[in-house]
Amino acid sequence: MSQKKIKAVFEEMGKVVVGQETLINRLLVGLFTGGHILLEGVPGLAKTLTVNTLARVLSLDFQRIQFTPDLLPADIVGTMIYRPKLGDYEVKKGPIFANLILADEVNRSPAKVQSALLEAMQEKQVTIGEETFQLDQPFFVLATQNPVEQEGTYPLPEAQLDRFMMKVFVDYPTKPQELEVMRRMSNLDYNYEPKPILSKKDIAQIRQEINQITLSETLENYIVELVFATRRPLDYALREEARYIQFGVSPRGTIKLNLAAKALAYMDGRDYVLPEDIKEVAPDVFNHRIMLNYEAEADGMTTRFVIDSILRKVAIGR
């Protein structure tokens, strides 16, 4: 039943968003496993539209926060407001108290604001004054970065990047998709209201079912081998790649790859993980956790090239 509903989610999303199936897939993977997604792509690729539509299809509260240099932590989590007539303080909750949060251009705000968001992501709770509030579940953050304009930005530190389950790159649409976007959006009367498909109860049930997906010991070891290949590339005959890797994937990356592969298998209607599931989602889990050195930048080496080499050279059952 859940797989039918998930298929219906993609169909309903397609009535509003053209293409972006991979983005929608990764958003659902994060949502179903309690992970958060960092998105990188140029403006105009329907990121906000996709998340807003997904919130409606999943019957979830949605808030978009535009990160700017003058944003304060209180603008995100909320603050205490003094009431003169009553002589006390009232808690005013911020936009973080929603199920789906779109943190737009998260690298445009200073470290204190970024930390406020990331603390809420990690702890699933917010403290305002002396009160601590649990965030409603599911709680899912999609943060975006603009790869074009880097002037006046505050890049996320590596330790904070690691808190995101995946970093997903959004590419331009294909020619047929671009044509469909143009036709659809140039119709000023087009205003389709997406129908709710899943509820919070459905999402909670899906999370429990994903927890029952089987991952064989061979594939568990394969995930560990992939992670260790990023830390000790010379042990895996990755001599060229070893020149460029400064830091490898953290243990959090091992956990997230396991969960993402299970979610992928579940959405494909299987109760077991295939090697292809791991290989498909590994780049999204790894690409913000592998840190390259200055030599890599000078030689034009990319993280994706390193990941592809690892996936190609590290054998299953090594």
- Predicted confidence (pLDDT) per residue in 263-284, tens digit: 999 999 898 999 999 999 999 9
- Domain end call among 201, 222, 256: 201
What's the whole-number mean pLDDT along residues 137-153? 75
pLDDT of residue 226: 95
What's the whole-number mean pLDDT along residues 248-257? 94
Q: Could you tell me if 192 and 267 lie in one domain?
A: no
pLDDT of residue 318: 64
pLDDT of residue 73: 86
Q: Could you tell me if 68 and 34 lie in one domain?
A: yes
| For the chain, percent of residues with pLDDT exceeding 90 | 29
- Candidate ranges 10-14, 34-38, 156-160; pick with highest mean pLDDT: 34-38
Q: Could you tell me if 153 and 237 lie in one domain?
A: no
pLDDT of residue 220: 94
Give whole-number Cα distances, 274 to 45, 101, 315, in Å: 31, 31, 14
Q: Could you tell me if 234 and 110 lie in one domain?
A: no
Residue 172 pLDDT > 90: no
- Domain end call among 153, 174, 201: 201
What's the whole-number mean pLDDT along residues 49-65? 88
Query: Given pLDDT bands bounded at 50, 70 and 90, which one contains residue 46?
Result: confident
pLDDT of residue 309: 92
Q: Could you tell me if 112 and 253 lie in one domain?
A: no
Count up the domains in the chain and report the number: 2
Q: Could you tell me if 187 and 219 lie in one domain?
A: no
Q: Could you tell me if 174 and 290 lie in one domain?
A: no
What's the whole-number mean pLDDT along residues 32-39? 91
Q: Which H/E stretch holds residue 57? A: helix 47-57
CATH code, domain with 192 = 3.40.50.300
What's the whole-number mean pLDDT along residues 151-178? 81
Query: What predicted TM-score, i.e. pTM, was given to this entire model?
Result: 0.88
Residue 11 pLDDT > 90: no
Q: Could you tell me if 181 and 222 lie in one domain?
A: no
Give whole-number Cα distances, 38 to 104, 106, 184, 252, 301, in Å: 10, 9, 28, 15, 22
Per-residue tokens: 212: 């029952």
pLDDT of residue 151: 55
Angle at 111 between CA 281 and CA 257, to 5 degrees: 15
Between residues 161 and 3, which one has the greater pLDDT? 161
The C-alpha atoms of residue 144 and residue 107 are separated, in whole angstroms, by: 8
Q: Could you tell me if 153 and 242 lie in one domain?
A: no
Q: Could you tell me if 125 and 166 lie in one domain?
A: yes
In a domain, 206, yes or no: no
Domain interval for residue 253:
212-313
CATH code, domain with 301 = 1.10.8.80
Query: Given pLDDT bands bounded at 50, 70 and 90, which one contains residue 105?
Result: confident
Between residues 318 and 150, which one has the greater pLDDT? 318
Residue 249 contacts residue 225 (beta carbons within 8 Å) = no
Q: Which residues have C-beta within 8 Å of that of residue 87, sequence separation ≥ 6?
A: none
Q: Which H/E stretch holds residue 134? A: strand 131-134
Between residues 184 and 257, which one has the greater pLDDT? 257
pLDDT of residue 283: 95
